[in-house]
Amino acid sequence: MQFDGLGQLKPNGPEAWYQRRSENFTRTCPFSYGAANENEIAAERYADTAQKNAELGRFQNAYVGHVAENNFRTLGSSGGMVSWVAAELMRKGLIDGVAHVVAENDPQTNNRYFHYTISRSETEILAGAKSRYYPIELSGVLDLIRNTPGRYAVVGIPCFIKAVHLLRREDPLFRERIPFTLGLFCGHMKSARFVESFAWQMDVPSAEIERVDYRYKHPDRPANLYNAMLTLRDGRVVNKDWWHLADGDWGAGFFMNHACNFCDDVVAETADISFGDAWVEPYSSDGRGTNVAVVRSLLIEELIQKAIAEKRLHLESVSGEFVAQTQAAGFRQRREGLAYRLTWASGRSKTKKRVAPDSQSPTPQRKLIYRTRYYISLWSNRIFSYARKVKKPSVYLNWARTVAAVYHGLAYHQGKFSEIKKRYIQLKG
C-alpha cells in the first residue's frame, strides 16, 4: 500500500497482480461483490444476540457514558471506552496485544503521521488514544500477527473490522490469533492532505509538523467544537478551531475517500464492541467526552457489567434508537444518501450494498445536499493537488470557502446554520 498523488493509500504492485484477481482476493476485500456482507458476518458471530436494530445490526446491549477509573477519559478523544476495553481484555489475560493506530515518531522521515502497531501494556495502549482522521492500512500489523504467536484484539473503523473478519474466514491462523475486534463509528476517511491543509491555514510549513492532534481536548469546551493542534519540530504549538477552517465542516465531505461514498456501515456492525461519540445533548456539550458503545460479544458484556458494578465505568443502558440518534447525520448519508448515489454516482456499478438504489425518497433539498457533498469530496482532492503543485494555497482555500458556503446554504437554509454560529460565538465570548 502506497500513497498516491492525492494523499490516498492505494495498492501498488506488478501488473500481473492486478490482473489475477483471485477468488481469495475477491472474498477478502470488504468492498468486493464476492465478499460476505455485514449482515452475514454478524449472523455468524452473534447469532445469540438479544437485540437487532436496522441501524446497529445485532447487539446485546448499548450504553452511554464514560470510564471512571484512572485517566482513560482524559487521554481519549471521547469517554475513554476504547482504550479501557482493550486494557481490560489484556488485564484478564484474554489477549497478549492490541493492534491499534499510534502516532509516528518521525513523520517527516517516514512520510506518514500514523501507523498500526501492537501494544502490550496499558501504558502503550493509552499512548495510542485519540482520534486519527488519516489514511491507515493493515498489512504491516497483520504480518506481525502472522509471525508472532499470541492472541490479539484489533481496533479499527467499520471496513477494517469487516476486512479482518473476511480474512479470519479464509485463514485459520488469523481465526485463532484475532479473537476480538473493537470497532470505531466512522463518518468517512480523510486523505493525508487534510493535515497539509491545517498547515496552510495555520501558516506553518507542513515539513515541520511533528505531531497532529485532530481533536485537542479541553474540559471547558463543548466536545463537538473540534480544535486542531499541530506540534512543530522546534517545539512550537499552533491550533485552530475547525469552525474557522475553510474545510472544517465534517459533513461537507472535504478530502473524503471515494470508497466512503459506497459504505453502508456507520457503527462497525461486525465488531465485538463498537464505540462512538454521544452527539446529543447534554453529552455533546460536555468537554470531558462521552461515549456510546454497542456490545455484541457476551464475554465483553460480562466484563462491562462487572466494571459498572465496581464503579470503574459510569455507563447507562440505552436503546438502539438512542445510539442511532447520536449518529443521525451519518445514517442519513449512508442509507438515504447511499441509495440515491447508487442511481448515478461514478463507481456504483462496481459495488453491491445492503441499500437498494432509490432516487425517489430524498426531497429535492436532500438530493442537492448529497450531490454537493459528493462533488466536494471528489474535487477537494483534485483542486488541493493542483494548488500544491503550483504552490498557491489560495487556489484551494478560496475554492473551499466558496463551496462550503454553498453547502451551508443548502444544509442549513432553515436557520440552523445561524443558530449554530450564534451558539459558538456565545461560547467563545
Measure the CA–CA gap between 307 and 304, rounded to whole angstroms: 5
- List the pLDDT tens digit at each of the 429 positions of the chain: 899 999 999 988 887 877 776 777 788 989 988 899 999 999 999 998 889 999 999 999 999 999 999 999 999 989 999 999 999 999 999 999 999 999 999 999 999 999 999 999 999 999 988 889 999 999 999 999 999 999 999 999 999 999 999 999 999 999 999 999 999 999 999 999 999 999 999 999 999 999 999 999 888 888 889 999 999 999 999 999 999 999 999 999 999 999 999 999 999 999 999 999 999 999 999 999 999 999 999 999 999 999 999 999 999 999 999 999 999 999 999 999 999 999 999 877 777 899 999 999 999 999 999 999 999 999 999 999 999 999 999 999 999 999 999 999 888 764 454 555 555 555 555
Q: Distance between terminal CA atoms of the chain? A: 46
Element (H, E) at 52: strand 51-53
Q: Distance (Å, rounded) from C-alpha 219 to C-alpha 226?
A: 12
HSE, side-chain direction, 13 A CA sphere, residue 143: 4
**Residue 306: enclosing H or E segment and its boundaries?**
helix 298-309
Quote the pLDDT of residue 421. Answer: 54
Q: 271, 252, 101, 108: which is closest to 188 by C-alpha?
A: 252
pLDDT at 415: 46
Number of CB atoms found within 10 A of residue 398's CB: 14
| Rg, C-alpha atoms of the chain | 21
Pairing of strands 209-213, 227-232: antiparallel
Confidence at residue 361, expressed as pLDDT on a 0 to 100 scale: 92
The Cα diameter of the chain in Å comes to 61
For residue 427, what pLDDT is reported?
Answer: 57
Query: Residue type for 314, please?
Result: H
Q: Which pLDDT score, from 0 to 100, does residue 413 have?
A: 64
* Domains of the chain and CATH, by start: 2-189+256-329 (3.40.640), 331-428 (no CATH)
Q: What integer pLDDT is reported at residue 396 of this predicted model?
A: 98
Indicate the pTM of the whole model. 0.93
The pLDDT, as a whole number, for residue 350 is 75
- Asked whether the beta carbons of 395 and 353 are under 8 A apart, the reply is no
**pLDDT, position 385:** 97
Contacts of 255 (CB under 8 A, 6+ apart): 7, 190, 191, 193, 194, 197, 247, 377, 380, 381, 384
For CA atoms 147, 136, 228, 424, the dihedral sign is: negative
Q: Which residue has the cell 457476551?
A: 298
Residue 9's pLDDT is: 94
To the nearest 10 degrees (0 to 180), the angle between helices 393-411 and 193-201 is 100
DSSP string, 308-352: HHTTSEEEEEE-HHHHHHHTHHHHIIIIIHHHHHTTTSTTGGG--
Burial of 96 (0-12, 13-18, 19+ CB in 10 A): middle
- Cβ atoms of residues 272 and 180 within 8 Å: yes
SS3 274: strand
